[in-house]
Structure 1
């Protein structure tokens, strides 16, 4: 059984060709979207920026560079998973001081669960992204519905 709750994957949270100048602009624009859709509290933006500074989430895999930002559930109104393919790669600091990562895909986890469950979801996505074929398949998707179907395919 998958550790990713695929019911959290919604077309309105699959953002393709997402325009952002840099990481800060990305988080500001995503915060606006998530707040207006009723997913996050006003505290989300500051919390995710602080967490990203303390615990960077960029990851360079062989076929794809990703970022997996997330915050503590206290900043959420309801759970979600946002999958964002920016119009151009965005610079994120790498996990474990691995340098800068130009993220081609950003998966923002809004998981309302215990820390162990959040780690399990992160590990499940990492398992997808270390698979070159799965990564290429995900990056080839051009509609929110196709992106969701593809992610679900690799979660099974």
Structure 2
């Protein structure tokens, strides 16, 4: 399963007062396009309470919210850079609160594919220069180009 981005699901400078609001805003086009079920946003938010997804990188904190495959019909990763950071709990230490500036919301239709998608995202996250460029970009097309140019394509 390859890591897949689509320009219509990339949100530069997203305005959100909370992690939940960002998830809901990022879910709208996924819902319209039929990639996820109507329950998807609520399921992502609910999963976050038990399994938080905040992650500390060298230069910023990011969130990688997701939920089970049963709420997804097509695999894609939605991306948002946030106008102002929002709070989320740490994946490593759930008692710790992080301020995240960027979100990679995963929608995976095959439960076995989630590990591959997460592994590829982690590889991207290690490229600090790339993450800084994505964060600084104001164009969905430019973010899409940056991410797809740096994504490894595996043959199925």
Match in the other structure for 1:102: 99
Alpha-carbon offset, residue 32 of structure 1: 3.1
Deviations 1:94-135 (A, max 9, x none): 1021511211110011111233x2112112111221222222
Q: Once superposed, what is the RMSD of the aligned Cα atoms?
A: 1.7
Aligned pair count reads 151
**Secondary structure of 2:8's partner?**
strand
Of 80-89 and 134-143, more deviation after overlay is shown by 134-143
TM normalised by structure 2 equals 0.87
| Partner Cα separation in structure 2 for residue 144 and residue 30 of structure 1 | 13
Match in the other structure for 2:23: 27
Runs of 4+ in 1 over 4 A off after TM superposition: none
TM normalised by structure 1 equals 0.87
Gaps of 5+ in 1: none
Gaps of 5+ in 2: none
| Partner Cα separation in structure 2 for residue 111 and residue 138 of structure 1 | 22
**Secondary structure of 2:27's partner?**
helix
Q: 1:80 aligns with which of 76, 82, 94?
A: 76
| Partner Cα separation in structure 1 for residue 18 and residue 11 of structure 2 | 16
Alpha-carbon offset, residue 78 of structure 1: 2.3
**Secondary structure of 2:150's partner?**
helix
Match in the other structure for 2:54: 58
Contact in 2 for aligned 1:63/1:130 (Cα 8 Å)? no
